[in-house]
C-alpha cells in the first residue's frame, strides 16, 4: 500500500478523536500536532503542513455544528476534507477528444517515462481504445529495445527508428499510420537535470507533434523537491499534468504529491509499481479515503457518533443540579455513563466540581442491569417516571414487575437507586464545601452506582 506509514499514523490520530470523550481545546491541539508530525515524516513541506493544519484549526473553530453530525464526526470530516483539498481536490480525467489523441511523456532520466508508456497503453486498451507507442528517445542507448519490449508486453504496436538521431524525423516517418489509432503514447528522451538542451528538444517536438497532453513524469522518491521540478517543467515546456511514479517504494510520496498539488500542473496518474498494471488515475478523495481506510473511516464516524457530546454532558450536569430529577434522568445518566465511563467528566464541566475525585468502581454501571431498568421503566406510567417517590407503592411495584416480567426485587432496587441519587444531588446543591461532603459520601455509595 502506498504511503502506508502516513496512513497508519493518520488513522491512529483519528481514532484517538473517536475514542476521546470530548472535543476540547486540548484534543484539538493534540490532533493538530499529530497531523503535523505524520505529514512531516512523509516529507511534506513544512510551510504546506502549517498552512494545512491552520486551515483545519480555523474550520474547527468557525464552523457551526452540522445537524446530524456530532462534534467529533465533524472534526474527522474536516480533517478528511482538508487532506483531500491538500492533494488537489479535483480528479482530472483524460478525455479523448480527438483521434488520434496524442499523449507525450517528458521528464528526467530514470523517472519512469518508458515504463509508463506501457502502463498507459494497457490502461487505454483495457478501456477499448486502439493504442500505439512512438519511441523518440534518441539519446539513451538501448532505449528503442526497451520500448519494443514494453510494447510487446502491452500488446500494442510501436513506431521507432534505431538509427535516426532526429526525433522529429522519426515522428514524421510514420505520419500516415497514426490516424488508425485512438491514442498515441509518445516516449521522449530525458536528461540528468532540466537543461537548456532538454527544453529545446521538448519544445521542438512539442511544436511538431502538438500533443493533446504533455505529461511530466516525476519520480516520487525525490519528495518535496518535486515541486521545483514540476514548476520548472511547467514554466518552460508547458506540461499539462504530472504522473508521479514509484509511489510504492518511497516514504516521501506524501511530499511529492502535496508538492505537485500546489503547482499549476495537476497530478493525473500515479505509478505504484514496476509492473504494467501498476498505474492509477489520481483522484484525491479516493486516495485519501484509501489512505485513511474508507471502511476504517466509516467505523470511526460510527464510533464518534456513539459517545456523548460535550453539550449533552453539560446539559446533563445542569439538569442534575436543577433538581427536577426524574427516573428518566437517572436512566439517561446511567446510560451516558456506561457509554462514556467516568461521571467525573460530567462533573468537570460544572464549575466547582472539577476537583472531586470519584471512586472508579462507583461509576460503573452494569450493562445487564441497565437493560433491565429500561424494560422496567417501559412498564411505568409517566407519573411514576417523573415522581416515583410520591406515587410508587408496593402494589404499584407488583404491577410494574408483572408488566415488565422482571422481579419485584429489581424494581425495588431501581427505586432505591433513584432515591439515593436524588438525595445526593440535594446534598450537593446544599453543601458549600463539596469536597468535605464527597468524602462523607464516598463510603456510602451503593455498589455499581455512581452519584
Ligand atoms: P525513463 O528513463 O524515464 O524512461 O525511466 P524508465 O521507464 O526506464 O524507468 C526507470 C526505472 O524505474 C525502471 O527500473 C522502472 O522499472 C522503474 N519504475 C518506473 N515506474 C515505477 C513505479 O511506479 N514503481 C517502481 N517501483 N518502479 C518504477
Ligand atoms: Mg526511457
**Confidence at residue 338, expressed as pLDDT on a 0 to 100 scale:** 59
Which alpha helices (DSSP H) does 87-180 contain, by range? 113-126, 143-154, 167-173, 175-178
Task: Please determine, for residue 437, whether its predicted confidence score (pLDDT) is greater than 50.
Answer: no
Atom of ligand 1 nearest to the CA of 108: 3
Q: Which numbered ligand comes closest to the C-alpha of 219? A: 1
Distance CA 246, CA 266 (A): 17
Same domain, 248 and 396: no
Query: What does pLDDT average to over the chain?
Result: 82
Task: Please determine, for residue 142, whether its predicted confidence score (pLDDT) is greater than 60.
Answer: yes
Same domain, 50 and 79: yes
CATH number at residue 275: 3.40.50.300
Of the three residues 86, 110, 128, the one that is the final residue of a domain is 86
**Confidence at residue 285, expressed as pLDDT on a 0 to 100 scale:** 84
**Confidence at residue 448, expressed as pLDDT on a 0 to 100 scale:** 39
Residue 94 placed within a domain: no
Same domain, 81 and 106: no
In angstroms, the Cα distances linking 155 to 80, 130, 245, 444 are 40, 11, 22, 82
CATH number at residue 326: 1.10.260.30
Overall domain count for the chain: 3
Task: Please determine, for residue 286, whether its predicted confidence score (pLDDT) is greater than 50.
Answer: yes
**pLDDT digit string (tens) for 242-277?**
999 999 988 888 888 888 888 888 899 999 999 999
Average pLDDT over residues 199-225: 94
Residue 91 placed within a domain: no
Same domain, 151 and 207: yes
Atom of ligand 1 nearest to the CA of 109: 2
Same domain, 249 and 125: yes
Average pLDDT over residues 191-206: 93
Contact 244, 121 (CB under 8 A): no
Contact 304, 68 (CB under 8 A): no
Residue 92 placed within a domain: no
Same domain, 268 and 156: yes
| 111 Cα: distance to centroid of ligand 1 (angstroms) | 6
Same domain, 71 and 139: no
Q: What is the DSSP string of 121-136?
A: HHHHHHTT--EEEEE-
Task: Please determine, for residue 356, whether its predicted confidence score (pLDDT) is greater than 50.
Answer: no
Instruction: Compute the chain's Rg from CA coordinates.
Output: 33
The pLDDT-based confidence of 20 (bands split at 50, 70, 90) is confident
Residue 450 placed within a domain: no
Residue 449 placed within a domain: no
CATH number at residue 29: 1.20.120.140
Q: Could you list the residue range(s) of the whole structural domain that residue 264 is in?
A: 101-293
Average pLDDT over residues 178-185: 97
Same domain, 276 and 345: no
In angstroms, the Cα distances linking 6 to 35, 84, 362 are 9, 14, 41
The pLDDT-based confidence of 300 (bands split at 50, 70, 90) is low
**Confidence at residue 429, expressed as pLDDT on a 0 to 100 scale:** 62
User: For ligand 1, which residues put their CB under 6 angstroms from it?
Assistant: 107, 109-115, 190, 217, 245-246, 248-249, 271-274, 278
Q: Which numbered ligand comes closest to the C-alpha of 278? A: 1
Same domain, 281 and 309: no
Residues lining ion ligand 2 (Cβ < 5 A) are 113-114
Residue 95 placed within a domain: no
| pLDDT, greater one: 429 or 85 | 85
Same domain, 313 and 411: yes
Average pLDDT over residues 162-183: 96
Of the three residues 227, 258, 293, the one that is the final residue of a domain is 293
| pLDDT, greater one: 233 or 262 | 233
**pLDDT digit string (tens) for 370-418?**
778 878 888 888 788 888 888 889 999 999 999 889 999 999 988 888 8
| pLDDT, greater one: 4 or 276 | 276
The pLDDT-based confidence of 336 (bands split at 50, 70, 90) is low
Same domain, 277 and 161: yes
| pLDDT, greater one: 432 or 36 | 36
Task: Please determine, for residue 181, whether its predicted confidence score (pLDDT) is greater than 90.
Answer: yes
Task: Please determine, for residue 144, whether its predicted confidence score (pLDDT) is greater than 70.
Answer: yes
| 179 Cα: distance to centroid of ligand 2 (angstroms) | 25
Distance CA 449, CA 20 (A): 23
Same domain, 218 and 364: no
Of the three residues 247, 276, 293, the one that is the final residue of a domain is 293
Residue 447 placed within a domain: no
Contact 290, 323 (CB under 8 A): no
Residue 118 placed within a domain: yes
Q: What cell does 146 get?
A: 526497451
Amino acid at each position: 500500500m502506498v504511503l502506508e506509514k502516513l496512513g497508519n499514523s493518520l488513522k491512529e490520530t483519528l481514532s484517538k478523536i473517536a475514542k476521546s470523550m470530548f472535543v476540547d481545546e486540548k484534543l484539538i491541539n493534540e490532533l493538530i500536532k499529530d497531523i503535523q508530525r505524520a505529514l512531516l515524516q512523509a516529507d511534506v513541506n513544512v510551510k504546506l503542513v502549517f498552512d494545512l493544519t491552520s486551515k483545519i484549526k480555523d474550520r474547527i473553530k468557525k464552523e457551526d455544528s452540522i445537524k446530524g453530525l456530532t462534534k467529533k464526526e465533524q472534526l474527522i470530516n474536516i480533517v478528511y476534507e482538508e487532506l483531500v483539498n491538500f492533494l488537489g481536490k479535483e480528479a482530472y480525467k483524460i478525455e479523448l477528444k480527438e483521434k488520434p489523441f496524442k499523449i507525450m511523456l517528458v521528464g528526467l532520466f530514470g523517472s519512469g517515462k518508458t515504463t509508463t508508456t506501457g502502463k498507459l497503453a494497457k490502461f487505454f486498451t483495457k478501456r477499448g481504445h486502439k493504442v500505439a507507442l512512438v519511441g523518440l528517445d534518441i539519446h539513451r542507448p538501448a532505449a528503442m529495445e526497451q520500448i519494443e519490449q514494453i510494447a510487446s508486453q502491452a500488446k500494442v504496436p510501436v513506431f521507432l527508428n534505431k538509427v535516426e538521431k532526429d526525433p522529429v524525423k522519426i515522428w514524421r516517418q510514420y505520419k500516415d499510420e497514426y490516424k488508425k489509432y485512438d491514442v498515441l503514447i509518445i516516449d521522449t528522451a530525458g536528461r540528468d537535470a532540466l537543461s537548456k538542451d532538454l527544453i529545446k528538444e521538448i519544445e521542438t517536438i512539442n511544436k511538431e507533434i502538438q500533443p493533446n497532453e504533455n505529461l511530466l513524469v516525476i519520480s516520487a522518491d525525490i519528495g518535496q523537491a518535486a515541486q521545483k521540478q514540476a514548476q520548472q517543467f511547467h514554466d518552460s515546456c508547458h506540461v499539462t499534468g504530472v504522473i508521479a511514479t514509484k509511489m510504492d517504494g518511497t516514504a516521501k510520496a506524501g511530499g511529492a504529491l502535496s508538492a505537485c498539488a500546489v503547482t499549476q500542473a495537476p497530478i493525473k496518474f500515479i505509478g505504484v509499481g514496476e509492473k504494467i498494471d501498476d498505474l492509477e488515475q489520481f483522484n484525491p478523495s479516493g486516495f485519501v479515503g484509501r489512505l485513511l481506510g474508507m471502511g476504517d473511516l466509516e467505523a470511526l464516524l460510527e464510533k464518534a457518533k456513539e459517545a456523548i457530546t460535550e453539550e449533552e454532558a453539560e446539559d446533563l450536569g445542569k439538569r442534575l443540579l436543577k433538581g427536577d430529577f426524574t427516573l428518566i434522568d437517572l436512566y439517561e445518566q446511567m446510560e451516558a455513563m456506561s457509554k462514556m465511563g467516568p461521571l467525573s467528566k460530567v462533573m468537570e464541566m460544572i464549575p466547582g466540581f472539577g476537583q472531586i475525585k470519584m471512586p472508579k468502581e462507583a461509576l460503573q454501571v452494569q450493562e445487564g442491569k441497565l437493560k433491565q431498568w429500561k424494560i422496567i421503566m417501559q412498564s411505568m406510567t409517566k407519573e411514576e417516571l417523573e415522581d416515583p417517590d410520591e406515587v410508587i407503592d408496593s402494589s404499584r411495584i407488583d404491577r410494574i414487575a408483572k408488566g415488565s416480567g422482571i422481579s419485584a426485587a429489581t424494581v425495588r432496587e431501581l427505586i432505591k437507586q433513584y432515591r439515593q441519587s436524588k438525595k445526593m444531588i440535594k446534598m450537593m446543591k446544599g453543601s458549600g464545601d463539596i469536597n468535605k461532603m464527597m468524602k462523607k459520601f464516598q463510603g456510602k455509595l451503593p455498589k455499581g452506582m455512581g452519584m
